[in-house]
Amino acid sequence: MLPEEKNKRDKAKVILANIFMAVSVVAILGITFMLTMGYTITKDLDLAQTGLVRIGSDPSGATVVIDEGSDQLKTTAKANLLPGTHTVTVHKSGYTSWKKNITVRAGGVLWLDYIQLFPLQNTISDVLQVNSSDSYAFSPNAKRFIVLSGKELGAIDITDITGSTAKTKQASFASILTPFEEVGALQIASWSDDSSKVLVKHHFNNQFEWLLLDLERMEKSVNLTNSFQAFFDDVVFGAENGEVVFTLKNGALDKIEVYNSIIAHLDENVNVYASYNGRLAYITAEKSAEGEETATLWIYRTRDARPAKLREVTSQSKLAVSSYRSDDYLAVFDSHTLSIFSGQFQLDDSGSGLSLLKTIAFNYDVADLSSKHRFFMLRSGNDFLNYDIETENTKIFNLGEGEAKAVAWLNDYLFYTNAERLVVYDFDGDNEQDILAARAGSPAVISPDSKYLYFMGEDAEGGVWLRQLSLVVK
């Protein structure tokens, strides 16, 4: 072979090799990109984009079965599924099973990281006995349980329920109570957002006063009524640490910096208000000379110089304020419509940083908000509507016939009905689970580490107990 021909062939081989390598790299990159974007080849040899489903449970290590298939995953798990409807079942030996029909969207991510499995056999311990006349409550962060004595007014039990063994300490706030002659009563009104303080309403001598109890430094507790010489109609917290409160008296709305004794007047003719984490929403209602009523919705942050007008509403509306992730939310309920605003509780050139996110028509009697403010719940009898802030999904469900069930949130994803049996549901009404006997209408929480359920029960003699249910099967 001539040298010239050999050189041509060698060059052709190099060119072909380079082309092959380039095509291979492009193909590999293309395949990698398609896999990253969730694409797969179906049984019919079609190219389809999947959706990602992330599945987590308490306890972890549970078995996940999708569409009754043979492939089994363990929580925490993730699966790329074709768009459409799928059935996910989660189970573990010694626990109740969990099952849900889900809808997967191409390119979407669906989080099923809230699954709670309960033991089939209950291990229950008595923690603390309370009197039927006592007032008691769990903190919003599920770390404390407090009892205000109905017999020795001014006595408080503060129980730490964060560990395997609950620890109780006694304290007194009797020194800030106004002396009284008739039988008094204490009512827990609300908690600060960081669960360090609690507002208490003290009824005595046919009147009442407001107390702010500091659970970490009881000596800093304050009688708000005496300190500010005002018989407030209502008081709510106005800052996460509980050192600012909003007060209402004869329609006058004020902001009080408790420990600085600074009072700022905000507005008049206020008939409805709601607060969370330094955000305040309220409604003013005024009548013209002709008797026509105008109701206006205002928003305010603790550090703002003045409130901002948001819109006209009806005076019968109810309000809920929340923050979820980086956004603020305001819900306005007017008995047949839920209007949700999102954005920021702040002033700007147009008046506020909130805009209407969604309006849902639904006739209802009661409105509620989940513990971590992700879900709005509306109820009419046993018909419920749940709105998920994160996914913007709406779910309507029914909890059966008969007397309307009173519900309460167990955590942000679970709620329960409590009429002598504690029956637990997912936030959207799925996975009904009858857990145990409990005192009707009493509170319950799951500990932050998901190892214990605390609830109120009664013994054979009618005594009332704080009880602990272990959620871990040994």
Same domain, yes or no, for 55 and 78? yes
> Which residue has better confidence, 100 or 292?
100
User: Is 30 a domain residue?
Assistant: yes
- The boundaries of the domain holding residue 16 are 3-36
Is residue 331 in some structural domain?
no
Name the domain boundary from 84, 116, 148: 116
Tell me if 67 is assigned to some domain. Answer: yes
pLDDT at 450 over 80: yes
Q: Same domain for 110 and 48? A: yes
Q: 414 pLDDT band (50/70/90 cuts)? A: very high
Domain end marker among 116, 131, 150: 116
Tell me the two tokens of residue 87: 């059935």
> How much is the pTM?
0.86
Same domain, 50 and 110: yes
Domain boundary pick from 116, 132, 154: 116
| Edge-to-edge order in the sheet of strand 167-172 | 135-138, 144-148, 155-160, 167-172
Amino acid at 361: A
Is residue 33 very low, low, confident or very high in pLDDT (cuts 50, 70, 90)? very low
**pLDDT level of residue 330 (50, 70, 90 thresholds):** very high
Residue 355 maps to a domain: no
In this prediction, what percent of the chain has a pLDDT beyond 70?
89
Instruction: List, for residues 113-148, the tens digit of each pLDDT value.
Output: 999 999 999 999 999 999 988 999 999 999 999 999
How many structural domains does the chain have?
A: 2
- Tens digits of residue pLDDT in 2-20: 566 666 666 666 666 667 6
Q: How far apart are the first and last CA of the chain?
A: 81
pLDDT for 385-410, tens place per residue? 999 988 888 999 999 888 888 899 99
Which pLDDT value is given to residue 182? Answer: 74
CATH of the domain at 103: 2.60.40.1120
* SS3 labels along the chain: CCHHHHHHHHHHHHHHHHHHHHHHHHHHHHHHHHHHCCEEECCCCCEEECEEEEEEEECCCCEEEECCCCCEEECCEEEEECCEEEEEEEECCCECCEEEEEEECCCCEEEEEEEECCECCCCEEEEEEECCCCEEEECCCCCEEEEECCCCCCEEEEEECCCCCCEEEEEECHHHCCCCCCCCEEEEEEECCCCCEEEEEEEECCEEEEEEEECCCHHHCEEHHHHCCCCCCEEEECCCCCCEEEEEECCEEEEEECCCCEEEEEECCEEEEEEECCEEEEEEEEECCCCCEEEEEEEEECCCCCCEEEEEECCCCEEEEEEECCEEEEEEECCCEEEEEEEECCCCCCCCEEEEEEEEECCCCEEEECCCCCEEEEEECCEEEEEECCCCCEEEEECCCCCCCCEEECCCCEEEEECCEEEEEECCCCCCEEEEECCCCCCEEECCCCCEEEEEEECCCCCEEEEEEECCCC
